[in-house]
């Protein structure tokens, strides 16, 4: 299923919601990045994402929430993550997507490394990512 198809299906699932907001994160091509690899630990990663979606749903009173995250090797321009939130009003939908992304970036069970011209490099959350996450505490 493509991102467009997923969003169309998601949107159609909540006909009574006032609006849907979404975010697609893609592999950037800066810093000479040739490829990005995401790994996970399934016994923690999936339950963690389900808890996160539930938390977002309760915090923002959502009608529905969608959270997809790929694992494996991806190349620049390819999507890594898709989140969407359906809510009565736009602010809740925007905020929920922001909340979901901040937690997926630096508080979910994924590990990321990128391949540059000189080989693979593990990526850790930036200070900005940690500050973004701290906004919700």
| Nearest CB to another protein, comparing residues 21 and 104 | 104
Shortest Å, Cβ 108 to another protein: 5
CB environment 41-75: b (16+ within 10 A), e (fewer): eeeebeebbeebbebbbeebebbbbbbbbbeeebe
Tokens of 92: 């809740």
Please give the full DSSP string across 21-89, using - where no structure is assigned: EEEEEE---GGG--EEEEEE-HHHHHHHHHHHHHHHHHHHT-SEEEEEE--EEE-TTSEEEEEEEEESS
| Nearest CB to another protein, comparing residues 19 and 23 | 23
Secondary structure (3-state) at 13? helix
Shortest Å, Cβ 78 to another protein: 13
Shortest Å, Cβ 1 to another protein: 20
Q: Does 53 bind another protein (CB under 8 A)?
A: no
Between residue 72 and residue 131, which ones bind another protein under the rule CB under 8 A? Answer: 80-81, 101, 104-113, 122-125, 129
Total residues interacting with another protein, rule: CB under 8 A: 26
Which of 38, 87, 93, 96 forms a contact with another protein (CB under 8 A)? 38
Tokens of 48: 């963690």
Binding residues for another protein, per CB under 8 A?
25, 38-39, 41, 43-44, 47, 69, 80-81, 101, 104-113, 122-125, 129
């Amino acid at each position: 299923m493509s991102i467009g198809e997923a969003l169309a299906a998601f949107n159609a699932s909540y006909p009574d919601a006032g609006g849907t907001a979404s975010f697609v994160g893609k592999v950037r091509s800066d810093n000479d990045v040739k490829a990005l690899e995401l790994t996970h630990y399934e016994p923690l990663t999936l339950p963690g994402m389900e808890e996160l979606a539930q938390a977002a749903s309760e915090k923002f009173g959502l009608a529905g929430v969608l959270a997809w995250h790929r694992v494996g090797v991806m190349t620049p321009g390819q999507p890594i993550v898709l989140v969407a939130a359906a809510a009565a009003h736009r602010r809740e939908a925007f905020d929920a997507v922001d909340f979901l992304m901040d937690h997926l970036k630096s508080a979910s069970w994924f590990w990321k490394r990128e391949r540059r011209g000189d080989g693979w490099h593990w990526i850790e959350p930036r200070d900005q990512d940690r500050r973004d996450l701290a906004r919700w505490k």
